[in-house]
Amino acid sequence: MTEWQPTACILCECNCGIQVLLGADGRSFEKIRGDKLHPASAGYTCNKALRLDHYQNGRTGRVTAPLRRRADGEFEEIDWETAISEIAARMQEIGLRYGGESIFYYGGGGQGNHLGGAYAPATMAAFGMKYRSSALAQEKTGDFWVGARMAGHPMRADVEHAEVAFFIGKNPYQSHGFPRARTVLKEIAKDPGRSMIVLDPVRTETAELADFHLQLRPGTDVYLLSAMAAILVRDNLIDEHWLAEHAMGVEEVLTVLRAVPIEKYCGIADVDLELVTAATHRLGAAASVAALEDLGVQMNRYSTVVSYVEKLVWLLTGNLGKPGTQYAFTGMAALGHDRGHPAGEGPRSPVAGAPIISGLVPCTVITEEILTEHPARYRAMFVESSNPVHSLADSARMRAALQALELVVVVDVAMTETARLADYVLPAATQFEKYEATFFNFDFPRNIFHLRHPVLPAPAGVLPEPEIHARLVEAAGVLSEDDYAPLRAALAQGREAFAMTFLGILADPRKSKLAPVLLYRTLGPTLPEGAAAAALLWAAAYNLVRKFPESVERAGYGTGLAAGERLFDAILAGKHGIVITEDDYEVTWSRLRDNKIQLHLGDLLEVVATLPEPADEPGEWPFVLSAGERRAFTANTIVRDPAWRKRDGAGTLRMSSTDAERLGLHPGDLVRVTTRRGSTEVPVEPTDRMRPGHLSLPNGFGLSVTDADGTTVTTGVAPNELTEFDSRDEWAGTPWHKYVPARLDTVNA
């Protein structure tokens, strides 16, 4: 094809619009550029998106036919009918013996790959599955839980318009997290009327642009943030009038913060008291503050408590519901919505009794749920577009857990580290060979949704995930042509008649959970340009109209049933992405529970009130390792081809120049990194960006790919060979990947 085709980058949650020009072979990405017609990114893209041909056409270990493991341990190709029928039979047999809840679902799509995963609930219902998880449960669930208890609705930050941008354990120059991140950061840095405050042990690219870099000791974020909150109270920087109108539980919080030993906590964090005070005063004096936390604290000690105190800092200063602050967003899916049960309440995992937040079992307890001798343990696992063997804590233990299961089914594009341990591997289309979308819709006041059309056809032998789920549901015997016939008949009379019939079917609890496949098999074939996978979005559009009618109307779609149809049609036609809702900032208050913020979370506030003196690690572990740092050429692990990296191809271990000099190490020297879980050799990169005693390994390394001659090549270190499943947050179970005690030994040449 000779025309530029709109699509999106799939390497971070922003999913910036891009355009692709295919080469003469019809498959290679000859050129990639930002899409100026995309309503959020408007032509912006970072360096990573420009290398996406390595995802589509690089060395990946692509799977193009269903695979079944033989008795000798090798895989053999089988046809789709055999694969679906055998998998369905084996899952039903396991369900009969142990209950459907013994089949565990993991995944649902990586970055930008959400549409197929939205059909998974139908498969879960068809086979009686109850428990599930995804990568969100090793990153965001603590933040979700705190936000739900404080507000009842998830919130995001309007960094673009903030007077002060406040980043906690986040380096948006590399990890992004909001549209046009690098451009916005540079705009803030150049504006004398605006400021940036960064809490990070590393002098990141973002920290170098900041007015205040609080380069704290790793793992002490809770102390430093508590000190900042206490300074706000001590120095009368809180917005008392705003708090009286908009917040509950204020006095309980102030009582605890008045007792915080500010100077002591700054000493624990090893950040100069005057610098902390100056940064806090800048924050307290600002007309608007936008705060974003990320994995630097969400995968660290006290992570859930840190999420709480971080919110106290910007709430005590009244930074919610106005431009440049935090807002409550709309969206096509309930991402981040949680009921916010107090600690000790709410659903629990069957074996470990871990809290299930936002419907997700903590990733760190999955191996316990499998390997513990318990009648309710998981007996099978269905993995979709995810690689838990590589991405979850304690890879060795995860491998042992998968090998202990009676059945492992993997749906993926490539022969991943997890797929190699499966009983069946079902090949999916890549994200550029099918209709796809992301449900990370956080933009405000105009929220954006982008249904991406295929850029090139899928090879023979692979299927998109919605078709795989539909076939499994039908093989389970829970849906047939008899179920589709009434909907097809209604559809022949028009979408309004179809909607009425569909609502009637949803009244049956048994059928309502199968709605994705019902839509896919009936509405799907009628959609233009083969967009059957988008059928689910018809229901999502109606649901958006139901939940946010004024917002949809302001975006120009009208009201009632007609608004749902217009919105859905716009989604189908909008190849560059469309505006789905439009709001003003004040609408945030109507979306919060009781139209107010609850500051007093007693269980978490008690932790703040009783923070212990941190115990030093024993001499055996003199370093703290951050296992998985985002760098210029790292992203999620769907890009398996190591050739995509222009720099840092070996995945160096970064350490402070001071430590390197003390140990007599030079750039490229090999060292052995040892943690409580494992040991590996890696070349070092001394740098003045790191604090003494702090180490970091990049994310995305340690993947194995096979060359054309059959040689398997593994590049760099897989960080989770060094992490522990039981080093985790006490509230949400999120892992401490950014705080791994370690030691270094030199390796003789």
Whether 573 is in a domain gets the answer yes
- At 341 the pLDDT is 82
Give residues with Cβ within 8 angstroms of 344, minimum separation 6: none
On whether both 401 and 485 belong to a single domain, the answer is yes
User: Contact at 8 Å (CB) between 239 and 316?
Assistant: yes
> Tokens 């007077």, residue?
163
Q: Which of 451, 467, 454 is nearest to 534 (CA)?
A: 451
Cα–Cα distance for residue pair 505/483, rounded to 1 Å: 9
Give the domain extent around 17. Answer: 5-57
Cβ burial 297-306 (10 Å sphere, 16+ → b, else e): bbbbbbbbbb
Q: How many CB atoms lie within 10 A of CB 451?
A: 23
DSSP 3-state assignment of 143? Answer: helix
Q: Do residues 635 and 49 make contact, with C-beta atoms less than 8 angstroms apart?
A: no
In Å, how far from its chain's centre is CA 733?
15
Q: Are 569 and 443 found together in one domain? A: yes
679, 659: one domain: yes
**Nearest Cα residue to 449 out of 329, 322, 530, 549:** 329
Does residue 735 belong to any structural domain of this protein?
Answer: yes
Q: Do 71 and 52 belong to one domain?
A: no
**Are the beta carbons of 738 and 366 closer than 8 angstroms?**
no
Strands 380-384 and 103-107: parallel
Is 523 found in the same domain as 543?
Answer: yes
- Paired tokens of 733: 């179970």
CB atoms within 10 A of CB 107: 25
CATH code, 25? 2.20.25.90
| The pair of three-digit structure tokens given for residue 537, joined into one six-digit string | 């979005």
Beta bridge partners of 582: 446
467: phi > 0 → left, psi -120 to 50 → alpha, else beta; which? Answer: alpha
With respect to residue 592, please indicate whether it lies within any of the assigned structural domains. no
3-state secondary structure 271-307: CCHHHHHHHHHHHHHCCCEEEEECHHHHCCCCHHHHH
Is 547 among the domain residues?
yes
**Rounded Cα gap, residues 524 and 470, in angstroms:** 12
Both 460 and 542 in one domain: the answer is yes
Distance, C-alpha 532 to centroid of its chain: 26
Q: Give the pLDDT of residue 333.
A: 87
In a domain, 695, yes or no: yes
Each residue's pLDDT tens digit, 75-134: 999 999 999 999 999 999 999 999 999 999 999 877 778 999 999 999 999 999 999 999
Task: Enter the DSSP assignment of 351.
Answer: T
Cα dist from 498 to 138, 322, 483, whole Å: 40, 41, 14
Please check whether residues 191 and 307 belong to one and the same domain.
Answer: yes
Distance CA 16, CA 149 (A): 31
Asked if residue 459 belongs to a domain, the reply is yes
DSSP 433: S
Residue 189 buriedness (CB in 10 A; 0-12 / 13-18 / 19+) = middle
Do 321 and 174 lie in a common domain?
Answer: yes
Q: What are the structure tokens assigned to 393, written together? A: 């804590």
Q: pLDDT at position 340, please?
A: 79
Domain identity same for 12 and 89: no
Q: How many domains does the chain have?
A: 4
Give the C-alpha distances (Å, rounded to integers) separating 423 from 67, 76, 380, 474: 8, 11, 10, 21
Please state, in angstroms and rounded to a whole number, the distance separating the CA atoms of residues 496 and 583: 28
| Whole-number Å distance between alpha carbons of 9 and 431 | 10
Whether 553 and 697 share a structural domain: no
At residue 617, the pLDDT reads: 67
For 446, phi then psi, to 5°, come to -105, 115
Cβ–Cβ under 8 Å, residues 357 and 732: yes
Only one residue has tokens 């559809």, namely: 491
* Domain containing residue 165: CATH number: 3.40.228.10
Cα distance between residue 174 and residue 205, in whole Å: 8
Residues 662 and 707 in one domain: yes
Residue 366 contacts by C-beta under 8 Å, 6 or more apart in sequence?
104, 106, 133, 378, 388, 392, 398, 401
- Could you tell me if 78 and 173 lie in one domain? no
Q: What are the structure tokens assigned to 541, written together?
A: 């559009």
Task: Report the pLDDT value the prediction gives residue 580, as an integer from 0 to 100.
Answer: 98
Distance, in Å, from the CA atom of 370 to the CA atom of 398, rounded to the nearest integer, reads 9
- Beta strand pairing call for 712-715 and 703-706: antiparallel
Residue 335 lies in a domain: no
Placement of tokens 């924050």 in the chain: 283
Q: Which residues of the chain have pLDDT under 70?
A: 1, 336, 617, 749
Number of H helices, E strands in the chain: 28, 28
Residue 136 belongs to a domain: no
Q: Which residue has tokens 């050429």? A: 633
Look up residue 727 and give its two tokens. Answer: 């080093």
CATH number of domain containing 436: 3.40.50.740
